[in-house]
Amino acid sequence: MSSIRPKELDDRLDSSGDEPFVLDIRPASAFESGAIDRSRNVPVYNELRRGDESALRDRLGDVPTDRDIVVVCKMGVVAKRATSVLRDEGYDASTLLGGMSGWKGYQNGSLGYKLRSLLWSIR
């Protein structure tokens, strides 16, 4: 399964020409309380969590086919399922490691994020 670290995503969002489409699958209320700049909310988290992939498949028209896709959820677990669905449909998709929790930790420079980042580097 393809994944991307928060710092890598941040670097790509800051670069010109290589900006991925950030697909936030969390419920609308979670998205509205805080999201990655320029991300798009397609709230299919609860359905995917229950194993219902059809909710995402029904919304594929909201996902561009000409850009890399980075899928975001709360912790990254449900986003892996969404990434798998997207890859099955032919998208170049990856999961944001740690989800929004990892993103916020990266943005804040938290110790928890630094420790997780070390673990990710030895995998």
Q: What is the CATH classification number for the domain harbouring 37? A: 3.40.250.10
List the domain range (segments joined by +) for residue 93: 3-122
Q: Tell me, what's the pLDDT at 1? A: 60
**Based on the structure, what is the number of domains in the chain?**
1
- Render pLDDT for 49-66 as a digit per residue (tens, 0 to 9): 999 999 999 999 999 999
The single-letter DSSP state of residue 94 is E
Mean pLDDT, rounded, for 21-33: 97
Q: Around Cβ 23, how many Cβ atoms within 10 Å?
A: 27
Nearest Cα neighbor of 78 from 32, 47, 119 is 47
